[in-house]
Structure 1
Amino acid sequence: MESVLINGTKLFYSINKGSIKKPLILYLHGGPGDACIPLTKKFNATLEKDFTFVNLEQRGCGLSYYPFSKSEELSVQTILEDIYQFVLYLLVQGKQNKIILMGHSWGSVLGILFIKEHPEVVSKYIGVGQVVNMSKNIELQKEYLNKTGQGDRIDSLDFINDPVSSSLTLTKKIVSTGGSLYGKKNYTKLILPFVFSKDYSIKDLVHRIKGSNQSIIAFWEELLEINLESITEFAMPVLFCEGRHDYHVPSILAAEYFSSINSSKRLVWFENSAHFPQWEEPEKFNFEITAFVNTL
């Protein structure tokens, strides 16, 4: 575990420093606010054999928690600026020119926007549970819930006057039907690694919950406006890792978006996963990441 002061905020991250000369992967967690160092340490540790693997806990999240103040003008751009300064720091520390960027869910929004803003510091991009268009995302969530018979009271949700609460309600329903973690109706599998983590104290566990809650309040409304469909050309190869059964962020949207990309690209399906292929099928995921990065 390490920490660094970025844009006036102390940010924590995990890194396997023994392999500092190996290709550098920066992992951007989902959420907003879902810091996940214990999960990547448990399920993706084998990547440390071939790479310097860094997992950043974004401002106000997890180990990087602090209470957001009303005077802060937080936006997606705020996090992008944090990431940029952190990337520059990593490159200097590792004496490298570029990173490999990996973003999951909310992190995949940050990832696409980042590689468009700063292609000069990224050699390859990996989108996991790639977000594309949040408006279409919501409509497909509704369709899925109706097909599974879980669509009761969906029509009563007020997306005009209360879009954040309505969207979160949909997502909770998706989780309870197994459309988020394949074959599971809760997140127990993803919670236990935090409970037994040596990196998280009880206080840190509380901070993670608080960090998630305040990040949703700060960023979710802006997230609902995201539409990346017009961004179809990239300066580096891109890989999408998609769970076949993902209805949390419906993978069909990622597949359609992938087909429109005019740059070097690859799409890998995970047949026994939903929204978290990196933790639902970690062995295959770690293999595919290594294969993609090692491809010239």
Structure 2
Amino acid sequence: MKTLPALFALLLSLPGLAMAEDCKNTSDYDRARAVIQDLSRIVAPNGVQEAYAVRIGGIDQWINVRGQDKANPILLFAHGGPASPLIPTMWQFQRPMEEFFTVVNWDQRGAGKTFASHDPQAYVDTLRVERYADDAIEIAQYVRKRYGKRKVVLAGHSWGTIVAMTAALKRPDLFYAYLGVGQAINVRENERISFDYGMQQAKAHGNTEAVKEMQAIAPYPGDQPITRERIIAARKWSQYYGGMTAYRDESLYFYRAPLLSPEYNDCDRAAVNRGNEFSLGRVLPEFVDVDFSKVREFPIPVVMFMGRHDYTTPSQPTADWLARVKAPYKQGVWFEHSSHMIQWEEPGKVLASLLQYVRPLARDDAKQ
């Protein structure tokens, strides 16, 4: 039986990155990145391709903006993790979206280039859900003004759904709609479902090693604190049995994607692991208490992309919440061959669903 990479456990099985541990240059990787960089160049006359730092929430935060036509609506994406930036992995799936949206990604505080560009101890006390949400709000205001838009579409993936949903509830006037991908509704309930799935699969496969590991922390989460060690043990086997990427026992395509990213140099790649380790323990106490199940009314249109096999942020609680919430518009989309990594697993359906359900909600800023 394969064993999960140590880093897989280290990142608590939330979207994270595995890359070089130092700043050495690798010529083969450099040549491969050059090809990806050339293919990724925005050459359309009205396109936009920019990467820069902006002062947000008292620190410089790195923003990446890409799109084939500035007349298109803005899709602002909050990445997962915590501290697992999308920018060094977006080359794998984002280009088709850029024909219909101006896509804005940013490295959150404690993540990626933002982590690498400061002494993180200077803002360690600000690693709170509310501050992350305020950062999303400030970035929405900034890009709206810079690119001449009335509002933006706000999206989040995994941990980023906590950041983005909090921002949408706080400042709905800034957003045409909210899109959750791998939405977290009630973290404790998600952990229970994930653990039960892992145990059920381990027993079905006769995996005595896994059963023994999980029994050591059962009942999970129970009424015990969800510590770093417990969440590692609980998530390990549910994701081994396809709860991270459907039909796969590992997700190396994602963890190693930064090695080929033209957006990051080797020092940036090395900083991602350090940023994740820096942020994770500080965010965890608030993360495990997140509960959006009490939100009965949502102020803007809401769309949820749900992986049928997702046992990282299990989808059924999201579907249940969506069925009962009141909103100006709501739509759930099931991805039957996806787990937690929907953009990577079913990119064609992601694009089709964005065009069918999301882009029309930003009609005021969409090119006719």
Q: Which has the larger radius of gyration?
A: 2
The SS at the match of 2:64 is: strand
Deviation of 1:18 (Å): 5.2
Compared CA separation, residues 99 and 141, structure 1 to 2 (3 A): same
Report the equivalent of 1:138. 191
Deviation, structure 1 residue 152: 2.5
Query: Contact conserved, 1:246 with 1:274, CA < 8 A, in 2?
Result: yes
What is the CA distance between 1:131 and its match in structure 2?
Answer: 0.4
How far apart, in 1, do the equivalents of 2:265 and 2:351 lie? 28
Q: Is the 8 A contact 2:89 2:254 kept in 1?
A: yes
Q: Where do 1:107-256 residues align within 5 Å?
A: 107-149=160-202, 150-157=210-217, 160=224, 163-256=227-320
Matched, 1:89 2:142: yes
What letter matches 1:192 in structure 2? R
Q: TM-score, normalised by structure 2?
A: 0.76
CA contact (8 A) 2:82 2:276 kept: yes
CA distance, structure 1, for counterparts of residue 238 and residue 70 of structure 2: 40
Q: RMSD of the TM alignment (CA)? A: 1.8
User: 1:13 corresponds to which residue?
Assistant: 63
Q: Is the 8 A contact 1:103 1:127 kept in 2?
A: yes
Q: Would you say the 8 A contact 1:39–1:279 is kept in 2?
A: no
Indicate the percent of aligned positions where both proteins have the same amino acid.
26
Partner Cα separation in structure 2 for residue 215 and residue 189 of structure 1: 23
Query: Aligned runs of 1:270-285 on 2, under 5 Å?
Result: 270-285=335-350
Q: Determine helix, strand or coil for the equivalent of 2:75.
A: strand
**In 1, distance between residues paired with 2:130 and 2:136?**
10
Q: Deviations over 1:168-197 (max 9, x none)?
A: 332233222221111121221112321111
Q: Distance in 2 between matches of 1:284 and 1:161?
A: 38
Length, aligned pairs only: 296
Equivalent residue for 2:82, pick from 32, 35, 50: 32
- 1:119-158 CA distance string (max 9 Å, x none): 0001111000010001111111121011112432223238
What is the aligned counterpart of 1:41 among 91, 97, 109? 91
Residue type of the alignment partner of 1:222: E
SS at match of 1:152: helix
**C-alpha contact (below 8 Å) 1:142/1:151 kept by paired residues:** no
Amino acid at match of 1:35: P
Which residue number corresponds to residue 69 of structure 1?
Answer: 121
Work out the CA distance in 2 between the residues paired with 1:209 and 1:87: 27
**Unpaired segments of 5 or more residues in structure 1?**
none
Partner Cα separation in structure 1 for residue 256 and residue 124 of structure 2: 33
Name the TM-score, length of structure 1 as normaliser: 0.94
Relative to structure 1, is the Cα distance of residues 168 and 8 closer, same or farther in structure 2, using a 3 angstrom cutoff?
A: same
Are the equivalent residues in 2 in contact too, given 1:60–1:67 (CA < 8 A)? no
Compute the displacement of 1:17 (Å).
5.6
C-alpha contact (below 8 Å) 2:134/2:167 kept by paired residues = no
2:130–2:166 contact (8 Å) kept in structure 1: no
Counterpart in the other structure of 2:42:
none
